[in-house]
Copies of this chain bind each other. A is one copy, B any other.
């Protein structure tokens, strides 16, 4: 079978792929982060909007956004509006996740199509 181009030689199989995937999952794993990012790709959004859009409770949303902010994927901007509003937007760095998001988007679509096939 095809081996990956692996710089470090070791035990039996290169650990880099496994590690890389795990690193990625550490940052955008879980139920919500990629969903939130994919929603924010349509443009910045306020807290409540995002909450409604993603159908996620404030508590979880708050936590997820903090984590995304910590990892430099999202910015939080407080606006001087009538009731103070807060805008969340993607950072340029988050663009590096485009491939991942697009790939998952495409796969999800195709998979649904496949699963929906009439009793094949």
In the complex, what distance in Å separates the CA atom of A101 from the CA atom of B21? 8
Interface residues of A (CB under 8 A from B): 1-4, 12-14, 16-25, 27, 29, 31, 34-35, 38-39, 41-44, 53-54, 96-97, 99-112
Closest Cβ of chain B to A60, distance in Å, is: 15
Known: A39-B13, A42-B4, A106-B99. A20 touches B112 (CB 8 A): yes
Q: Are B111 and A107 interface neighbours, CB within 8 A? A: no
**Contact (Cβ within 8 A) A42 B99:** no
A109 to B22, CA, bound (A): 10
Closest approach, in angstroms, between the C-beta of A113 and any C-beta of chain B?
10
Q: What residue of chain B has the Cβ atom nearest to residue A49's Cβ? A: B12
Contacts of A105 in B (CB 8 A): 17, 20-21, 24
Q: In the bound complex, do residue B21 and residue A104 qualify as a contact, i.e. CB atoms below 8 Å apart?
A: yes
